[in-house]
Structure 1
Amino acid sequence: MKITAIPQLYRNLKRWRQILQVLRRYGLADWLSHFPSLPFRDLLKDRHGVPLTQHSREKRVRMALTELGPTFIKLGQLLAARPDLVGTAMADELKLLRANVTPDAPDVVRRILEEELGERFSQEIAELQDTPLATASIGQVHAAELTDGRHVVIKIQRDGIEDIILQDLDVLTGLSQLAEHVEAFAPWGPAEMARQIMPMLRRELDFEREQQNMLLFDEFFAGDADVVLPEPVSELCTRRVLVMTRLDGPSVAKWDETDRDLRNALAQQVTRCYMRMLFDHGVFHADPHPGNLLALPAGQLGILDFGMVGRIDDRLRETIEEMLFAISAGDQAMVLRLVKRVGNPPPDLEDAALSVDIGDYLATYGRQGLGKFKLTSALNDLTEILHRHNIKLPSQSALLLKMLVSLEGTLSTLNAQFDSMSIMRGFVRQAMARRLSPRRRFRQARRIYLEAENFLEFAPDQVLGLLEQMRRGNISLNLEHRRLSPSVNRLVLGMLASSLFLGSSLLLALQVPPLLFPNKPFLGIHQISVVGAAGAALSLMVMLRLVLAIGRSGHLTRENDD
């Protein structure tokens, strides 16, 4: 850990101690679970009195994250969308994470509103319901009525939650740096993962960003009468308070299961809406769980909670389109090429083994009819293959996977009788047609021309500058020797041991005092230099350690280098 991190560590010392106590408790339970014969293995118990060793490892991780609080719950929810990193079993367990929080008291809510809105709180808000409509880890939602008669909902950041999350993010940074040196966690890339997750959590603390997201999606669906979004009341919105118009209607989770036609129509609206976000705009609402989707009385679809929004660039979107076509066509070589393109394969990737796994995957899903295709199962199996071969997906794909899995879970609650994959394939066809359109080709040619013009304009000056530096002798070449440090260390240590042995031998030969048995011999030992004997023994121990280290590394002879 760096010296500059010491003040941060001291500032968060209390929180560090709390987190380490929880991790030590669950880590000890995980260790004890491997020894069923120990008499004291059931001493650690959960809040219901059940021994922690009786739970699976994945469940213990989920319970630990729940006990650590809202920041780590959010972390677990984001990791649930990365089965390529944590595996499908862990991801499925982390999907069960829920924040069980107690809402802030009404007087606390009113105090926050007065701090954020000032006089506008009493001038603009005529009535505020004390009982929240919903409570989450970061904010809670209250119904209200404005003085002009509009019915609104107010999303208020929970008291003190920003300080807690920012403190936890500092601690999380330190934990990720420590985890980089733990063999079990190093393949996950915890430091890089923390760098990706922290901006997401910070953005969720800023309700003004959510307001901007609402305005952006309102622009996307301006001409669509079947999709309705809440409108923010901009003059009453701040960083900690978001006021928006209220949408009245039952959520998808409470939709009448007996009305099959309405359920089918709603399910098709949901699918078309999210496919339009993905393939037309590259920006999507990342949390389509049933509570955020409303069935409005006029047969329209209402969407709530734009705090978590995902974005994909054109390259990833085009790769997704190509992969869907390759899977449906059973093109194994193309799928293999696309997986390696979109992921981050390790240097020691075995192409043959990956090709076999992809062939089995296509044999399972490539021949299924559209009506039988299960998106969640297909995604889980694909990410399991990536996890098995240590292929990491780009960070922007995490929210995309989360959205697709949540979307199919929402559609399954509707129990609708329609083919969602046929709608998805229709959007993919439209996207592929747009890629081949003359308009896109013209834009692509214009971009290539501008890049070539920029290159031809600046490249000659850079080449001339490089030649001038070579003429002046200012060019330096830096070489990095990989895996050379252990060899150099062993060489230096061997030379020191040899020098120590040689010097100690001279001290023994010259009988340099202080001496052992200077007057009378003991078992034939007479006038032995103490310093020389100690030096000789130490040098022999160092040499023995070097021989053992070289033997363990397998590079004692040239034949072992293969």
Structure 2
Amino acid sequence: MRITAIPQLYRNLRRWREILVVLQRYGLADWLSRYQRVPFRDAFKDRRGVSLAEYSREERVRMALTELGPAFIKLGQILAGRPDLVGPELGEELKRLRSNVAAEDFESVQSTLRTELGDEYQTHFQTIHETPLATASIGQVHRAVLADGRKVVLKVQRADIEITIRQDIEVLTGLAMLADRVEALAAWGPSDLVRQLAPILIRELDFGREKQNLQHFTKSLSRFDDEVVVPQPVEHLCTRRVLVMQELVGTPISKIHAARDGITDPSCDEPSPTSALCETMAKVYLSMVFEEGLFHADPHSGNLLLLADGRLGILDFGMVGRIDETLRETIEEMLIAVSHGDQNQLTRLIRRVGDPPPTLDESALAIDLSDFVGTYGQQSLGGFDMTGALNDISRILHRHSIKLPNQSALLLKMMVSLEGTLREMGARFDSLQVVKQFAHKTMLRRISPTRRIRQARRIYLESENFAQLAPDQILQLLTQARRGELRMTLMHSHLGPTVNRLVLGLMTSAVFLGSSLMLAFEVNPVLFPENPFLGFTRVSVMGLTGVVGSIVVMLRLLMAINRSGHLNRKGDD
């Protein structure tokens, strides 16, 4: 541990203790769940008195994160969209994470409004409903009416939540450093994962970003004005901790049932209102991905409304994803590879977009992808199971420890959530066909003269930059070599155990040699000083202890080397 980390550890000592107590409870419960006849197996219980050992491991992880508080809940909600890291089963369970936090008292809400909008904030509103419309770990939402009569909703950040989140991020960083030392966890790079997720948690605290997202999507989806509505922010009342936006009144998609709209009759050829809404949802979200490169990352049924005029209302733009042109083109190539049954091309694309470990078994990955292509590549358009395909590809990535970039994982999460919402509504159209239509448009865009000209211009500018910088850098390199100042940094991996065994072997040899000398010179204290025992006399106690101990260590070292399979060279008998 670095010396500079000691003040941080001391500052968060109480929080460390709380977290370790929770992890200890659920960790012991997980261990006890393996043994049915242990008498104290039911020692740990939840609030309802049910033994924690009776829950599945995934449920215990979700319950532990819920008990640990806002930052860990947010972390779990983010990891729910990373099945490549946690696996589809745990990812599905983490989708059930809810904050379950009590509403903050209205006096605290008023204090935040007064701090952010000024002492005369009430002049901007006719009324503010004291009962919150919704609560979450970071903030809560209240209905209100502006002075000009417009109905709005206020999203107000909880008091001191930023301090709590930042404190928990520091603790998470410390836990990740400890996890890096556990061989089974180190392969996933816990510290790197926390470094990636921490900015996402911090961005959730800035409501100004959500205001910008609302403005951007209002502009980018303007061509869908008769089909889609995005809440308009009230700019002069929006701050970092307060967001005021237009209230959308409608029926949540989660409360719309297919049977209500007559979808249960398969002989009916007329598209139902719900079917038309599903087509609009698919069209809008895939337009975000394939045309805009910026998408709403959480299209679950609670964030989508059916308005009275039949339009789709989209809520909660706190989490958005962005993909660049290269990733978009890779997705298109993946769709083509799956539809053509080309597992070799799919393998190359996954290696390109993901972060495979150095120990990746490429033949095993190729076999898994061959099975995947064989299962989904031959399905008809109408019967294509997109959710199953996305979950299966997540399992393959998780099995082979292939990590996706954050934006790729967000896109995967969005597609799974969108497909789940469409299925929940009983959509009767083919989502894969819609995807292929957008992919076809983007393929035409890729071969368009405009893109070729833009690509040629970029290559020219990069070549010109290289031509300007390369000579100076080469001369600098030659100058350093001539002066003897050239340095080379070599990075190694998996050498830690080898070095540790080498040092342990040298130390054991030294102890064995020194103990042998002590036996030879009969260093006091000695055993059997006068009467020999089995022919031994004047045996040095310290020498005997050292010899026996070094022999035990050497035997253990040989067993460890033998277990690792590196005792003999390859090909030796």
Structure 1 residues 184 and 516: alpha-carbon distance in aligned structure 2, compared to 1, 3 A threshold: closer
Alpha carbon RMSD of aligned pairs, Å?
2.3
Q: Return the offset for 1:552.
A: 2.4
* Counterpart among 266, 280, 299 of residue 310 in structure 2: 299
Distance (whole Å) between structure 1 residues aligned to residue 499 and residue 526 of structure 2: 40
Deviates more, 1:234-243 or 1:493-502: 493-502
Match of 2:267 in 1: none
Q: Are positions 1:441 and 2:452 aligned together?
A: yes
In 2, Cα distance between the equivalents of 1:558 and 1:433?
Answer: 55
Residue of 485, 491, 499 corresponding to 1:485: 499
Give the equivalent residue in structure 1 for 2:229.
Answer: 228
Amino acid at match of 1:448: I
More displaced 10-residue stretch of structure 1: 199-208 or 544-553: 544-553
Structure 1 partner of 2:255: 254
* Residues in 1 aligned to 2:352 and 2:176: alpha-carbon distance in whole angstroms: 27
Equivalent residue, structure 1, for 2:5:
5
Q: Which moved more, 1:480-489 or 1:394-403?
A: 480-489
Q: Output the amino acid matched with 1:349.
A: L
Partner of 2:510: 496
Gap change, CA 1:558 and 1:388, over 3 Å in 2: closer
Measure, in 2, the Cα distance between the counterparts of 1:481 and 1:335.
Answer: 30
Q: Name structure 1 gaps, 5 residues minimum.
A: none
2:401 aligned partner: 390
Could you say which residue in structure 2 is the equivalent of 1:369?
380
The range that moved more, 183-192 or 66-75, is 183-192
Counterpart contact for 1:156–1:241, Cα < 8 Å: yes
Residue in 2 that maps onto 1:550: 558
1:411 is matched with which residue? Answer: 422
Are residues 1:337 and 2:348 paired?
yes
Deviations 1:259-315 (A, max 9, x none): 352111211111111001111111111111122212223322221111111112222
Taking structure 2 as the reference length, the TM-score comes to 0.91
Contact kept, 8 Å, 2:321 with 2:410, in 1: the verdict is: yes
Tell me what 1:454 maps to. Answer: 465
Q: Would you say the 8 A contact 1:501–1:540 is kept in 2?
A: no
TM-superposition CA deviations, 1:105-137 (whole Å, max 9, x none): 222222221121113412211211112222222
What's the CA shift string for 1:74-112, capped at 9, x where partnerless? 111221212222222211211221221211122222222
Q: Distance in 1 between matches of 2:330 and 2:285?
A: 18
Aligned residues: 556
* Contact map agreement 1:497 1:543 (CA 8 A) in 2: no
> Paired residue for 1:507?
521
How big is the shift at 1:437?
0.8
SS at match of 2:222: coil
- 1:128 matched residue in structure 2: 128
Distance 1:560 1:23, change over 3 A: farther
SS of alignment partner, residue 173 of structure 1:
helix
% identity of equivalent residues: 53
Change (3 A) 1:526 1:300: closer
For 1:70-469, list aligned pairs within 5 A. Answer: 70-225=70-225, 226-255=227-256, 257=258, 258-260=260-262, 261-469=272-480
Change (3 A) 1:299 1:558: closer
Deviation of residue 30 (structure 1)?
0.9
Relative to 1, partners in 2 of residues 1:524 and 1:218: Cα closer, same or farther, differing over 3 Å? closer
Given that 1:78 and 1:398 are in contact with CA atoms closer than 8 Å, whether structure 2 keeps it comes out as: no
Separation in 2 of the partners of 1:524 and 1:298? 103
Q: CA separation in 1, counterparts of 2:48 and 2:452?
A: 63
User: Which stretch of structure 1 is more off in the superposition, 202-211 or 418-427?
Assistant: 418-427
Q: Deviations over 1:47-75 (max 9, x none)?
A: 22221111111111111111112221211
Amino acid in structure 2 at the alignment position of 1:198: A
Q: Please, which of 536, 542, 560 is the counterpart of residue 534 of structure 1? A: 542
2 CA distance for matches of 1:167 and 1:553?
Answer: 43
Write the distance in 2 (CA, Å) between the matches of 1:82 and 1:526: 67
Give 1:524 deviation, angstroms.
8.5
SS in 2 for 1:242: strand
Kindly state the Cα deviation for residue 253 of structure 1 after the two structures are TM-superposed.
2.0
- 1:53 lines up with 2:69 in the alignment: no
